[in-house]
Structures are given as C-alpha cells and as structure tokens.
Amino acid sequence: MDLMQTLQEQLQGPALSQISKQIGATNEQTSTAANGIFAALVGGLAKNASSESGLNALTNALDRDHDGSILNDVAGMIGGILQGQVSGANNGAGILGHVLGNKQEQVAQHVSQTSGLDLSQIMKLMPILAPIVMGVLGRMRNSNESTPSSGGGFGDLANILMGSAQSAAQSGGFGDLIGSVLGGVLGGQQAPNQETAQSSGGFLGNILGNIFKK
C-alpha cells in the first residue's frame, strides 16, 4: 500500500478548494504543498514506528482517536477545524507535535520553498492535513490490509510506513525533505537533495533500513 497515493486521493474537489480558499492559495499550490507535508508526516511516522515504544504509542493513538471515520466527510472535518471544533481525531496541532516535534518549522520552510506559498500559509495548512494522515492510517488499521503481529501490535504498519517513505523519497522527489525529518538518525550523513534522491534513492532506503534494524 502506498500511503502517499491514498493521501493525495483524499484531497480533491470541495476539500481542496475549501483549504485553498482558507489559506489564500490556488488549488495547484495547495496540492503541491500538501504533497510535501504528507511526505514529511509519512517520514516522521516511519521514524516513530521504528522503535517498539514509538510503534506502541502510534497504535494506541489510532485505537483511541483515529478510526478513519473523518474520511467519510473530509470537507466537514476541515470545516470543523476552521471553526475551532477540535477533538482527538482532528487535533492537527497535537498530531504535528507528536510526529514532527521541533522539525515543524523546518518542514514548513522546505515546503514553502517548493510550493511558492509563504511560511504562514504552510503553517495554516499543516494542522489541517495532519488528521487526514492519521485518518488514513486508522482506516487501514480497521481493514484487512494489516494484520496484528504475534505480539499484538500493528504488524504491517512499520513496513508500510517505511516503504511509503522510501517511495516518496525516491520516486516522489521528497528525499531531502524526508531526510530532514529523520534528523539525528542520519548519524552525521547529509540528507540528499531532490536530484540526488531521484538518481540514487538507495540513500534514503539505507537510512530507513538501518532505523528499522535497531
């Protein structure tokens, strides 16, 4: 399962227009920025899920707040956020804090550069999109696409996140962005830029592979 494709499918039609109007951008600009934000969140989730404690925290959050039902009415969910109706399922700021931590501004700056939107627009966009990511994972959690491991955890989640992050880095051109999210786990290695990530995408694959071997 490629999470990036699934996430992009959630942001179409009225939902995309609604967000674009709110942040003062064109649909194309919003879509471009959203792809970068989605990639960063997938990379951050892959990093978090690479440890047993991180994976347990993620699965507990999915079980508690994210059953995927917000995807039944994405436009309605966005409207609720914009009106200040925040709950566990659509608490974008809280999700960003857990997934990206102190990397949020770094991610926003990168997405701003690639999308043409200013930093304030990106910072408005990020907490709107974060619940969509958790909603997609929650729906997957409740489907047959992932099966519990023998330890009772979400057996396939870590592998799906790693694979999607690697795919986004290699074929999606988000290698430098995902590398910046991985941060300290690079062990002093420099994150690749887009050209490097596309031509020799194994760099991110090796990093992600090393994380998951820990």
Q: If pLDDT is split at 50, 70 and 90, which confidence band does 50 have?
A: confident
On the question of pLDDT at 3 being above 70, the answer is: yes
More confident residue, 99 or 152: 99
On the question of pLDDT at 211 being above 70, the answer is: no
On the question of pLDDT at 144 being above 80, the answer is: no
On the question of pLDDT at 208 being above 70, the answer is: no
Please tell me the distance from the alpha carbon of residue 74 to that of residue 72, in angstroms, as a whole number: 6
**C-alpha pair distances (Å), 129 with each of 9, 20, 170, 193:** 13, 12, 22, 24
Largest CA distance in the chain: 48
Q: If pLDDT is split at 50, 70 and 90, which confidence band does 183 have?
A: low
> Hey, what are 138's tokens?
């929650």
Quote the percentage of the chain above a pLDDT of 90: 50
Q: If pLDDT is split at 50, 70 and 90, which confidence band does 190 have?
A: very low
Element containing residue 27 per DSSP (H, E): helix 27-48
CB 128 within 8 A of CB 81: yes
Number of H helices, E strands in the chain: 12, 0
